[in-house]
């Protein structure tokens, strides 16, 4: 077939001459044989080339009727025939980035359709049809219809994405993960806005789980699932739109004893359909639906990356089994469930007493974590009970058997280890995880969670422990032991942040200061103490780590918060230091200090605009200006200090102008 679009002649014997005669478009040679036309006929009849050419052009002037008389006088000039330019039907010859050229070619292709004779009129050939579709694909993205839609507004009615079938919309939404793209997709009309990513509901919300079970395409697009506590307010729920059923439609009043089993069954069935789930947050603290029954379903989903659990039931001890029963269960035990994509796991206890045990255990958590070989972040925290007879979970087995080669961050809070095997298990664990960068250890090494006397102070960790540690939160004795541990390489440990140390004024404080100055003077930039005793502790720190950028002293030992009472606190806080000049001299030893917390220097004043200050407020304003000037003079880089209100989420920022130093109140995230 030719590569150009040309006009096809009529086949012989189709009666084209009669049709042309009926339309009054006979050629001049047929109506007036004596004319001086230059057209040459190779064959007589209506199928000649000249007849077809003139008929298709549609531009030749029709000749008068053969029965009419010829007019005398000046001969009329002959009508000129406009030539049709051929159109290249090769798709590669048309640029996809030039919509104007495509529109011009499309108009040229369509303009030739009315001039085609007979049954070929207004019809494309196969190559021409393929070219027209190709040109439409180039032009259509740049064409917008501003006609009002069915809802009566002036929005654009032609949207290619919205007009797609539902199955294609689900496939498109499945690959959209960016927050900005999701917002743009949700703002679209109709079915596109129903493609959700977050589902937040209670375990008892059977209507939500039933809706996800029925609508599998919707469940497939869920990325993050949050199971709320039963006492959570209803405003926190985020559920799919279009749920028409209620809880009473799915729950019978006759099976109240099996209500929790029914809720668990529907929740598990909905989870089985969330094949693209990446994050799960479990806060079901007042329900009998256990996370242990949900974990096997999550293990079947290969895309889980983050799991966060807030439930006391995960710390419940496992029931004891007889030797014969344990052998039978071991022989019949299925394969270990593995979550290879899980990177972050955290298990936290709740403040509520629901599900709390007097002797909590980490057996369930250890069994879950054994199937997570690529774990990078692990956090386990328990809320201790002050009532007599309650103990904290024992972490000996977890530290002794848990091994994750890619672990980067570890947080253990309110746990304890036995004095016999706890320190050895912890040393073996830290030695095996050389890539640890963040370590928070709130673990008591002693009987019943009590301090182990001088055992920890004299314990020495093996060489090569934590060579890449950057942040450490531990007690004073544990921090001293880890600082004194050699890294096994010529490079020093890149420790930058140290937290949780409490200085009590004992002889062990001097040992900690000695190790800190010897092994952390060049690297430590941020120090957050849990408590301090007197100003001598701060002076000793200035000698050990003079290059600190951030210093937080915590609470002063022996001073109870709020002891002054609410009345005196409203007038003047009792913990405002009056020795700001002496403190400024101490802080001047930290040449790089930019943030200081733990001691308040500023008095409370009225900050409302246009308020008339009393004599006492004016005195406090002058005092605050004096404090700001002294601190800015002694500490050239100091910028952030404590606000006069405790726990208000505010700080004071020193602003240095050309003439004076002033302070501003800024809000921070608590």
- Three-state SS sequence of 329-350: HHHCCCCCCCCCCCCEEEEECC
What are the pLDDT digits (tens) for 416-463? Answer: 998 878 899 999 999 999 999 999 999 998 754 444 455 777 788 999
Helix (H) or strand (E) holding 516: helix 507-519
Between vectors from CA 216 to CA 215 and to CA 221, what angle results, nearest 5°?
105
Residue the block writes with tokens 């009129």: 121
Residue 24 pLDDT > 60: no
In angstroms, how far is CA 234 from the centroid of its own chain? Answer: 24
Distance CA 10, CA 25 (A): 15
Which pLDDT score is estimated for 160?
57
- Centre a 10 Å sphere on the Cβ of residue 172 and count the other Cβ atoms it contains: 14
Q: Where does the pLDDT of residue 610 fall: very low under 50, low under 70, confident under 90, or very high at 90 and above? A: low
* 241/527: higher pLDDT: 527
3-state secondary structure 213-282: HHCHHHHHCCCEEEEECCCCCHHHCECCCCCCCCHHHHCCCCCCCCHHHHHHHHHHHHHHHCCCCCEEEE
Q: What is the pTM of this model?
A: 0.70
Which pLDDT score is estimated for 447?
52
Straight-line distance from the first to the last Cα atom of the chain, in angstroms, rounded to the nearest whole number: 76
Phi-psi label, residue 77: left if phi above 0, alpha if psi -120 to 50, beta otherwise: beta
Distance CA 246, CA 428 (A): 54
Give the pLDDT mean for 128-140.
86
Q: Where does the pLDDT of residue 150 fall: very low under 50, low under 70, confident under 90, or very high at 90 and above? A: low
**Angle of the 535-544 helix axis to the 580-587 helix axis, nearest 10:** 20
Percent of the chain with pLDDT over 70: 71
Q: Where does the pLDDT of residue 181 fall: very low under 50, low under 70, confident under 90, or very high at 90 and above? A: confident
Q: Are 233 and 200 in contact (CB under 8 A)?
A: no
Beta bridge partners of 200: 226, 238
Helix, strand or coil for residue 135?
helix
Which pLDDT score is estimated for 441?
94
By the 10 Å C-beta count (0-12 exposed, 13-18 middle, 19+ buried), 229 is classed as buried
Give the pLDDT mean for 229-236.
87
Which pLDDT score is estimated for 2?
41
Give the pLDDT mean for 557-569.
48
Give the pLDDT mean for 165-175.
68
Q: Where does the pLDDT of residue 190 fall: very low under 50, low under 70, confident under 90, or very high at 90 and above? A: very low
Distance CA 429, CA 397 (A): 11
What are the pLDDT digits (tens) for 539-550? Answer: 999 999 999 999
Buried b or exposed e, range 178-198, using 16+ CB within 10 angstroms:
eeeebeebeeeeeebebbbbe
Return the half-sphere exposure (C-beta side, CA atoms, 13 A cut-off) of residue 406. 11
Alpha carbon separation from 306 to 220, 277, 342, 379 (Å, rounded): 18, 10, 6, 12
Distance CA 624, CA 141 (A): 64
Q: Where does the pLDDT of residue 382 fall: very low under 50, low under 70, confident under 90, or very high at 90 and above? A: very high
Strand 344-348 versus strand 306-310 pairing type: parallel
What are the pLDDT digits (tens) for 351-364? Answer: 888 888 899 999 99
Distance CA 373, CA 615 (A): 67
Which pLDDT score is estimated for 258?
77
Single out the residue of 366, 371, 367, 374 nearest to residue 344, CA to CA. Answer: 374
Q: Are 177 and 185 in contact (CB under 8 A)?
A: no
Residue 182 pLDDT > 80: no
- Centre a 10 Å sphere on the Cβ of residue 497 and count the other Cβ atoms it contains: 17
Enumerate residues 6+ apart whose C-beta is below 8 A from 317. 357, 359, 360, 361, 363
Alpha carbon separation from 617 to 206, 571, 607, 623, 664 (Å, rounded): 59, 10, 10, 10, 17
Q: What is the overall mean pLDDT for the chain? A: 78
Residue 555 backbone dihedrals phi, psi, to 5 degrees: -95, 140
Distance CA 239, CA 410 (A): 34
Distance CA 647, CA 383 (A): 22
Residue 301 pLDDT > 60: yes
Q: Are 86 and 4 in contact (CB under 8 A)?
A: yes
Which pLDDT score is estimated for 4?
43
Residue 70 pLDDT > 80: no
Give the pLDDT mean for 562-585.
60
* 575/291: higher pLDDT: 291
């Amino acid at each position: 077939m030719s590569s150009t679009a040309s006009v096809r002649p009529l086949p012989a014997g189709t009666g084209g001459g009669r049709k042309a005669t009926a339309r009054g478009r006979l050629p001049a040679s047929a109506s007036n044989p004596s004319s001086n036309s230059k057209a040459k006929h190779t064959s007589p009849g209506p199928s000649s080339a000249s007849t077809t050419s003139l008929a298709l052009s549609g531009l030749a002037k029709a000749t008068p009727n053969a029965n009419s008389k010829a007019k005398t006088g000046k001969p009329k000039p002959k009508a000129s025939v406009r030539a049709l330019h051929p159109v290249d039907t090769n798709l590669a010859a048309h640029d996809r980035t030039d919509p104007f050229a495509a529109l011009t070619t499309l108009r040229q292709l369509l303009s030739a359709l009315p001039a085609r004779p007979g049954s070929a009129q207004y019809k494309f050939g196969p190559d021409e049809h393929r070219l027209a579709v190709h040109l439409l694909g180039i032009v259509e993205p740049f064409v917008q219809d501003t006609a009002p839609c069915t809802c009566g507004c002036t929005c654009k009615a032609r949207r290619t994405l919205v007009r797609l079938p539902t199955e294609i919309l689900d496939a498109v939404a499945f690959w959209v993960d960016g927050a900005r793209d999701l917002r743009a997709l949700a703002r679209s009309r109709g079915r596109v806005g129903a493609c959700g990513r977050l589902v937040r509901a209670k375990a008892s919300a059977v209507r939500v789980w039933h809706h996800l079970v029925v609508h599998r395409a919707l469940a497939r697009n869920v990325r993050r699932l949050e199971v709320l506590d039963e006492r959570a307010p209803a405003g926190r729920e985020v559920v799919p739109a279009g749920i028409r059923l209620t809880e009473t439609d799915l729950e019978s009043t006759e099976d109240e004893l099996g209500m929790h089993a029914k809720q668990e069954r529907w929740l598990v069935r909905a989870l089985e359909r969330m094949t693209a789930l990446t994050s799960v947050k479990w806060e079901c603290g007042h329900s009998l639906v256990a996370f242990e029954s949900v974990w096997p379903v999550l293990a079947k989903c290969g895309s889980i990356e983050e799991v966060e659990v807030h439930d006391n039931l995960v710390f419940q001890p496992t029931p004891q089994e007889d030797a014969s029963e344990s052998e039978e269960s071991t022989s019949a035990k299925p394969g270990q469930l593995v979550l290879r994509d899980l990177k972050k796991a955290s298990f936290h206890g709740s403040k509520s007493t629901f599900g709390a045990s007097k002797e909590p255990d980490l057996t369930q958590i250890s069994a879950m974590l054994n199937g997570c070989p690529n774990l990078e972040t692990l956090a386990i925290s328990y809320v201790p009970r002050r009532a007599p007879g309650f103990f904290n979970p024992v972490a000996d087995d977890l530290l002794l058997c848990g091994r994750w080669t890619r672990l980067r961050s570890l947080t253990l809070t309110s746990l304890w280890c036995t004095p016999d095997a706890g320190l050895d298990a912890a040393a073996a664990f830290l030695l095996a995880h050389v890539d640890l960068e963040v370590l928070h250890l709130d673990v008591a090494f002693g009987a019943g969670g009590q301090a182990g006397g001088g055992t920890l102070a004299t314990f020495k960790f093996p060489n090569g422990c934590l060579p890449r540690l950057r942040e450490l939160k531990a007690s004073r004795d544990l921090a001293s032991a880890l600082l004194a541990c050699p890294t096994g390489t010529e490079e020093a440990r890149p420790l930058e942040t140290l937290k949780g140390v409490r200085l009590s004024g004992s002889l062990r404080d001097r040992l900690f200061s000695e190790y800190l100055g010897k092994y952390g003077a060049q690297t430590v930039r941020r120090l957050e103490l849990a408590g301090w005793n007197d100003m001598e502790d701060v002076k000793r720190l200035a000698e050990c780590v003079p290059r600190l950028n951030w210093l937080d002293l915590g609470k002063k030992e022996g001073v109870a918060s709020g002891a002054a009472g609410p009345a005196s606190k409203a007038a003047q806080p009792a913990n405002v230091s009056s020795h700001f000049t002496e403190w400024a001299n101490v802080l001047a030893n930290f040449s790089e200090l930019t943030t200081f917390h733990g001691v308040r220097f500023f008095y409370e004043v009225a900050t409302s605009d246009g308020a008339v200050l009393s004599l006492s407020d004016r005195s406090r304003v002058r005092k605050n200006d004096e404090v700001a000037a002294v601190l800015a003079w002694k500490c050239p880089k100091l910028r952030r200090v404590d606000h006069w209100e405790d726990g208000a989420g505010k700080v004071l920022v020193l602003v240095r102008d050309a003439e004076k130093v002033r302070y501003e109140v800024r809000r921070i995230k608590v």
